[in-house]
Amino acid sequence: MSGHEYRNDAKSFDGTKETRLAPCAISGSQVLDQVKDINFTLGKSSEEAHRHVLFNGESEIVECDKKEHIAEIKRSLRKRSLTQHQLDRMHFDTYNEWSKEKVKELKVTSDIFKNIKVLARGPSCIAKKFNAYDLYNGYQFRTKQSEEYLETQNSGVMVISKTESYASSSDNAPKSANISYYGRLTEIVELNYYEEFKVVLFKCDWVDVTKGRAVMEDDLGFTVVNFSHLADFGDRDQHEPFIFAEQAQ
């Protein structure tokens, strides 16, 4: 290369023989072990992760807030005839910012309200990543990348989730059912809500369970998952790649 920094530096290459041994190459798993549990800065996925916590956490106060937000949307758009699908979409897209504004007026009179205020604020932009995670029920999970050179695999994830399905955007009567989803664990993230509480989430690639191609049962009754048929969510904002760690099976 004509512009290389050593092109005109002949004096540095005086023919001296190098007798030192070349450094030993390390495996991918050793590299991952060296950088495990490091802090990192959340990017776009921060909003997705926090939104999952908001919409799937168990808090009666948050549930009441969600109902209030939906009622406010209906009041502000009462002249429009919104379908249930449109209403749910607007709620999903705007609840996060709405809750941030609402809690500014909230008086902290108990630990419960304090946690609600912290939750609405969102997590710190500094989070933790792990390569593996042990659950209290005895399950151990590893990210797909971390087990590349291992003989055993623990990156497979199954979760049962209550899901609402719409026949179309004009459907006003979505059907709700418990659906088993199958995926592959790609990231383990710990969100830190400014040391008030922490939440561990699994980020996964999910297979398409809607068309019957990715999940089937073999002759012995075992579930077989084909990861070449991942769910295609396109640009849908409601795609949720995250689950709570304790949901994983």
What are the residue ranges spanned by the domains of the chain? Answer: 39-166+175-247
- As a whole number, the mean pLDDT across the chain is 81
pLDDT value for 199: 94
| Cα atoms in the 13 Å half-sphere on the side-chain side of 213 | 8
Residue among 131, 238, 141 at smallest CA distance from 187: 131
Q: Render pLDDT for 185-200 as a digit per residue (tens, 0 to 9).
A: 999 999 999 888 999 9
For the chain, what percent of residues have pLDDT higher than 70? 78
Look at residue 3 and tell me whether its pLDDT is greater than 80: no
Note the pLDDT of residue 237. 47
Q: Which of 106, 135, 153 is nearest to 243 (CA)?
A: 135
**What DSSP string describes 128-180?**
EEESEEE-TTS-EEE-TGGGTT-SS---EEEEEEEEEE-SSTT-SS-EEEEEE
Count of H helices and E strands in the chain? 5, 10
Q: Which long-range contacts (CB under 8 A, 24 or more apart) does 102-108 make?
A: 102/65
Inform me whether the pLDDT recorded for 213 exceeds 80: no
Tokens 């209403």 locate to: 87
For helices 111-121 and 60-76, give the axis angle rounded to 10 degrees.
Answer: 50
**Mean pLDDT, residues 88-112:** 82
**244 vs 32: which has the higher pLDDT:** 244
pTM for this model (two decimals): 0.75
E strands, the chain, in order: 39-41, 126-130, 132-134, 140-142, 156-165, 175-193, 197-206, 215-217, 223-225, 242-244
Among the residue ranges 33-37, 152-156, 201-205, 225-229, the one predicted with the least confidence is 33-37
* pLDDT tier for residue 168 given thresholds of 50, 70 and 90: low
Two tokens at 99? 């809750």
Distance CA 156, CA 154 (A): 6
pLDDT level of residue 235 (50, 70, 90 thresholds): very low
The yes-or-no verdict on residue 6 having pLDDT over 70 is no
d(C-alpha 124, C-alpha 194), whole Å: 6
User: Higher confidence at residue 42 or residue 102?
Assistant: 102
Q: Which of 222, 219, 151, 150 is nearest to 182 (CA)?
A: 222
| pLDDT of res. 143 | 94
Question: Quick one: which of 73, 113, 64 has its CA closest to 94?
Answer: 73
127 vs 27: which has the higher pLDDT: 127
